[in-house]
A and B are shown apart, each in its own frame.
Chain A
Amino acid sequence: MLESLHDKKLKFLEEMANRIRQDIISMLVEAESGHSAGPLGMADIFTALYFHVLKHDPKKPDWPERDRLVLSNGHICPVRYAAMAHAGYFSLEELKTLRKIHSRLQGHPHRATLPGMETTSGPLGSGLSQAVGMALAVKLDKKRCKIYCLMSDGEQQCGNIWEAAMFAGKNKLNNLIGVIDRNNIQIDGFTENIMPLEPLRDKYEAFNWHVIEIDGHNIHHFVDAVNEAHAIYEKPTVIIAHTIPGKGVSFMENKFEWHGKPPNSDEAEAALMELAANYDRMKREHH
Chain B
Amino acid sequence: MPVNSRAKLNSKLFDKDVEQKAIRDGYGPGLVSAGEENPNVVVLCADLSESTRSEDFAKKFPERFFEIGVAEQNMAAIAAGLGVSGKIPFISSYATFSPGRNWEQIRTTISYNDSNVKIAGHHAGLVTGPDGATHQAVEDIATMRVLANMKVFVPCDAIEAKKATIAAAKIWGPIYIRFAREKSSVLTTEATPYTPGKAEVFWESKKKPKAVIIGCGLLMYNALLAAKELEEDGIDVAVINNHTIKPLDEKTILEYAKKCGAVVTVEEHQISGGLGGAVAEFLSKNAPTPMEFVGMQGVFGESGPGKELIDEYGMGVKDVIRAVKKAIKRK
Contacts and interface: CB of A to CB of B under 8 A. Distances in A.
B73 A132 contact: no
Interface stretch (B7-15, B74-82, B184-192): B74-82
B330 to A, nearest CB: 44
Nearest to B73: A160
Contacts of A121: 108
Given A141-B86, A159-B73, A164-B74, A126 B105 contact: yes
Interface residues of A, number: 33
B69 interface: yes
Interface in A113-157: 118-123, 125-127, 129-138, 140-141
Contacts of A137: 81-82, 85-87
Given A119-B113, A163-B74, A133 B69 contact: no
B87 A130 contact: no
B42 interface: yes
B39 to A, nearest CB: 9
A136 B66 CA distance: 10
Interface in B77-121: 77-87, 89, 104-105, 108-109, 112-114
Contacts of A166: 69, 71
A163 B68 CA distance: 9
Contacts of B113: 111-112, 119-120
Given A126-B73, A129-B78, A164-B74, A119 B112 contact: no
B20 to A, nearest CB: 37
Contacts of A163: 68-69, 71, 73-74
B64 interface: yes
Given A159-B73, A160-B73, A167 B108 contact: no
Interface string B189-221: 000000000000000000000000000000000
B73 A167 contact: no
Question: Chain A's interface: helix, strand, loop or mixed, by majority?
Answer: helix
Q: Which interface class (under 10, 10 to 19, 20 to 34, 35 or more) fits B?
A: 20 to 34
Nearest to A127: B77
Contacts of A172: none
A122 B81 CA distance: 15
Contact of B85 (A122, A129, A133): A133
B138 to A, nearest CB: 26
A162 to B, nearest CB: 9
A129 B73 CA distance: 9
A167 B79 contact: no
A110 interface: yes
Contacts of A131: 81
A126 B109 contact: yes
B174 to A, nearest CB: 12
Nearest to A161: B74
A129 B81 contact: yes
B82 A136 contact: yes
B80 A130 contact: yes
Contacts of B109: 119-120, 126, 129-130
Contacts of B69: 163, 166-167
B195 to A, nearest CB: 27
A181 B133 CA distance: 42
Contacts of A164: 74, 77-78
B45 to A, nearest CB: 13
Nearest to B80: A130
B148 to A, nearest CB: 11
Contacts of A141: 85-86
B87 A129 contact: no
Contacts of B42: 136, 140
Scoring A68, A120, A167 by chain B CB atoms within 10 A of each residue's CB, the highest score goes to A120
Contacts of B64: 140
B74 to A, nearest CB: 3
The 7 closest A-B pairs by CB, nearest first: A133-B81, A129-B77, A137-B85, A163-B74, A130-B81, A163-B71, A133-B78
Interface of B: 42, 63-64, 66, 68-69, 71, 73-74, 76-87, 89, 104-105, 108-109, 112-114
Given A111-B84, A134-B85, 15 more contacts: A68-B85, A112-B113, A123-B104, A126-B109, A129-B76, A129-B81, A130-B78, A130-B80, A132-B74, A133-B77, A133-B89, A134-B82, A137-B82, A160-B73, A166-B69
